[in-house]
Amino acid sequence: MAARPRRATLWRVSKHDAPRSAPPVGLRLIDHLRAQGYARRAARDLLETGKVAYGGVPTADEGRLVDPARVAISPRAPRLRPNRDLAVIFRDPHLVVIFKPPGMLAVGAPGRRREDSAVGHVRRLFGAGYPVHRLDEPTSGLMLVALTEDCQQRLKAILFRHEVERSYLAVVRGYFPKAPVVMSTQLVRDRGDGLRGSDAEAGEDDAKPAVTRLRLVEHLGPSASLVEARLETGRTHQVRIHLAEHGHPILGDPLYGRAAVTRLAPRLALHAACLGLRHPMSGEALRFEAALADDLEQLRRRLCRELSPRCPPVARPRRRNA
């Protein structure tokens, strides 16, 4: 049966919305809305219909801790379902930055042409859409889509030159080390069991170099951690493979985690949190940040409650100059 069409809204993020120094977050979103004069029921209606954005991304998670300066309330915004419908974060004549919800294909797939995809949805909204990179179906977060073929080729060129800043947030199994880790391996399509993975003995024709910088964001008790993974290269399943090979598979990962790890999350606990680049046409510095998707932020809080009585609010990825 054909997938139900998903709606989109536009939350333009200006250069002033880029990550910056801010006081520690410690106010629940619902309390912030109440402080703005909304009754609890009215506040929840705004949240559930996609009219509240945090850092440019619609959210319905009333319990998340927020920096009030990054909360936007737009009662006239188009109705949508946060974390279930695609949202447009930025658009100009050349490209769009979207929030892809978990469970949506990035691009159409053979045998699944009736299902909605992020690029297909952009085409319906704006009359054109050209893929630049992909996110796995269960992964949420920021994604680039070109609106012209010229822009698509330019974006692919700067991705090939590793000139796009991309980082992910992942909830992983285990007590991740406090010292940063750099994973630099040769990835092959088949490591011997039908899955992608690292092979130090693979020849240049068979493998592609992959580099990921891993940094602890916070410990979620003794058995889980929130980790930032910053890409130096962009290979298929790179973050999933590197975290699993480092001994910290992503919760909910059915490919690279054991069954016990898969059951710990309702879906792959991976979120594309940051995109930074020079606009391929104008040269303007662009940088976007998306806080943890609603379901993963709720997972984070649940793990905090279950595993640690004093779990701090999630830290924001450190800024790197664009």
CA distance 298 to 314: 11
pLDDT in tens, the chain (322 residues): 444 434 444 444 433 343 333 334 579 999 999 999 999 999 999 999 999 999 889 999 999 999 999 999 999 999 999 999 999 999 999 999 999 999 999 998 888 878 889 999 999 999 999 999 999 999 999 999 999 999 999 999 999 999 999 999 999 999 999 999 999 988 888 887 878 888 766 655 678 888 999 999 999 988 899 999 999 998 889 999 999 999 999 999 999 998 888 898 999 999 999 999 999 999 999 999 999 999 999 999 999 887 544 454 444 444 444 3
* 272 CB neighbour count, 10 Å cutoff: 24
Asked if residue 96 is part of any domain, the answer here is yes
| Structure confidence at residue 234 (pLDDT) | 86
User: What is residue 171's predicted lDDT score, i.e. its pLDDT?
Assistant: 97
Q: How far is CA 62 from CA 172, 248, 261, 293, 302, in A?
A: 24, 30, 27, 12, 14
- Name the residue range of residue 133's domain: 15-307
In a domain, 268, yes or no: yes
Residue 80 in any domain: the answer is yes
> Quick one: pLDDT at residue 205?
62
| 6, part of any domain | no
Closest CA to 230 of 210, 207, 251, 252: 210
* Cα 43-44-45 angle, rounded to 5 deg: 90
Q: Is 226 exposed, middle or buried (0-12, 13-18, 19+ CB in 10 A)?
A: buried
pTM over 0.95: no
CATH number at residue 266: 3.30.2350.10
pLDDT (0 to 100) of residue 318: 45
Residue identified by tokens 């493998």 is 207
Is residue 116 among the annotated active site residues? no
Catalytic site residue from 61, 136, 253, 295: 136
Torsions phi, psi for 204 (to 5 deg): -60, -30
Asked if the structure places residue 321 within a domain, the reply is no
Q: Residue 278 in contact with residue 321, Cβ under 8 Å?
A: no
* Angstrom distance (rounded) from CA 151 to CA 92: 11
Is 217 inside any structural domain? Answer: yes
Residue 194: what pLDDT? 79
Q: Residue 244's Cα: distance from chain center in Å?
A: 19
> Is residue 177, in this structure, part of any structural domain at all?
yes
- How confident is the model at residue 319, as a pLDDT? 43
Position 7 in a domain: no
Q: What is the pLDDT of residue 105?
A: 96
Query: Structurally, how many domains does the chain consist of?
Result: 1
Closest to 8 measured CA to CA, from 102, 77, 104 = 77
What H or E segment, with its residue span, contains residue 151?
A: helix 149-160
Length, in residues, of the chain: 322
Which pLDDT belongs to residue 201? 67
